[in-house]
Amino acid sequence: MEASLRLGRIRGIEIGIHYTWLIAFALLAYSLAAGVFPLWYPDWTPGLYWSIGAISSLLLFASVLAHELGHSLVAQARGIRVVRIVLFIFGGVAQIADEPRRASDEFAIAIAGPLVSFVIGILGLLSWPLVNPVSEPAGAILHYLGYANLLLVAFNLIPAYPLDGGRVLRAILWGALGSIYRGTRIASRIGIGIGFLFIAIGIFLAFRAPLQGIWLVAIGWFLQNAAQQAYQQLLVRRWFEGITVGRVMAPAPWAIEPDRTIDELVDALLRYNTRSFPVVEDGRLVGIVTITDVSHAPRDEWATRQVRDLMTPWERLIVATPDTDLETVLEAMVERDIHQVPVVQGHTLIGWLTRNAVLHFLQLRRQLDNWEQLDRERSPFARP
């Protein structure tokens, strides 16, 4: 999940919020100001309800950030890179670059977040009676954060992959079965089942309490979709294991010289029915030019401006060699939102890796994997 707004970095981890966080913040602040705090403290003024509601909502999301940092710092301690933490409508997610190498690593990373939330919750509830006689607003915030964090622990420990409880379950299954794939498959199926259970309960409740019912349906939909996607992502990683760029790349395409005009470039794009060209000078790759680059040049300058004025130069390119790990290059392509990567030896262009080629490769691997699974299920010697 990409952040809509980046807030900064902690220990090299990008911290951001998704636009749906604003919806969650507004709904939570409203429910606290209009429902929870008036019930707990009926003598407050409306302004105090709203200000404490907003502060409590912000601090709850700060607690969610601390929860995700718990996962992330343990992952870093286990040698696993964490790309970013994003807060969104259902809480937060830490995007970890690689799968844990051992079941014990998975267990430690998964349980770290709930432990952080548990500590925050206990501290909030223990300090509330001490603070409340001195300052009711501060006591109210601690009271709410204590209960909210313990509820966060209870929810996250539901054994629905990829919630923390589901990841703990996966770690246990992984250790018992000796296979991350079998452990993930079982945990994800349980997660999908729990997601559909939430949806069913939400539909039933919608006739009595519409808001709560709709919220449960949304959570259930999120859980079953997240479980399916998490398992698919793991399969993609498996299909990429040991695959290098050289096995997927296409031969080097027709290239264009940097001193060609934009008019000549447009003619070549149309003639070869392509969106981009490598730019080669004296046998050396010097850049890439795309149809998007053309759109940035005024039409009346096409006859005079050259390709070198538009191209992305070598210094800013993502390039690969035939021996580069395919998954590493694909991650860079997704992160930078680029559709093609030149494959080089030195500065000599020898191939061209595109998203379409990678998708075609994945389709073939998925089809072959399905056939292999079907053969194992049909074989009288197949193992469970």
> Partners of 16 in the beta sheet?
6, 86
CA 330 to chain centre: 15
One-letter amino acid at 195 equals G
Question: Is residue 220 classed exposed, middle or buried when 0-12, 13-18 and 19+ CB atoms within 10 A define those classes?
Answer: buried
Structure tokens at 154: 């209870």
Q: Which residue is it, tokens 């501290």? A: 123
Residue 357 CB contacts under 8 Å (≥ 6 apart), including other chains: 248, 249, 250
DSSP assignment string, 225-262: HHHHHHHHHHHHHHHHTT-BGGGTPEEP---B-TTSBH
In angstroms, rounded to a whole number, what is the distance separating the alpha carbons of residues 202 and 223? 13
* 312-313/340-345 β-pairing: unpaired
Q: How many CB atoms lie within 10 A of CB 366?
A: 14
Q: Residue 126 to residues 32, 37, 114, 206, 345: CA-CA distances in angstroms?
A: 21, 19, 18, 36, 63
For CA atoms 113, 115, 118, 119, give the dihedral sign: negative
Considering the candidates 2, 68, 106, 335, report the single residue annotated as catalytic. 68
Q: Is residue 2 annotated as a catalytic residue, yes or no?
A: no
In angstroms, rounded to a whole number, what is the distance separating the alpha carbons of residues 187 and 49? 42
Q: How many CB atoms lie within 10 A of CB 11?
A: 9
Q: Quick one: DSSP state of residue 342?
A: E
Q: CA nearest 343: which of 312, 364, 319, 362?
A: 319
Given a contact cutoff of 8 angstroms between Cβ atoms, the answer to whether 289 and 265 are in contact is yes
- Helix, strand, coil percentages, rounded to 5, for the chain: 60, 15, 20
Residues assigned a catalytic role: 68
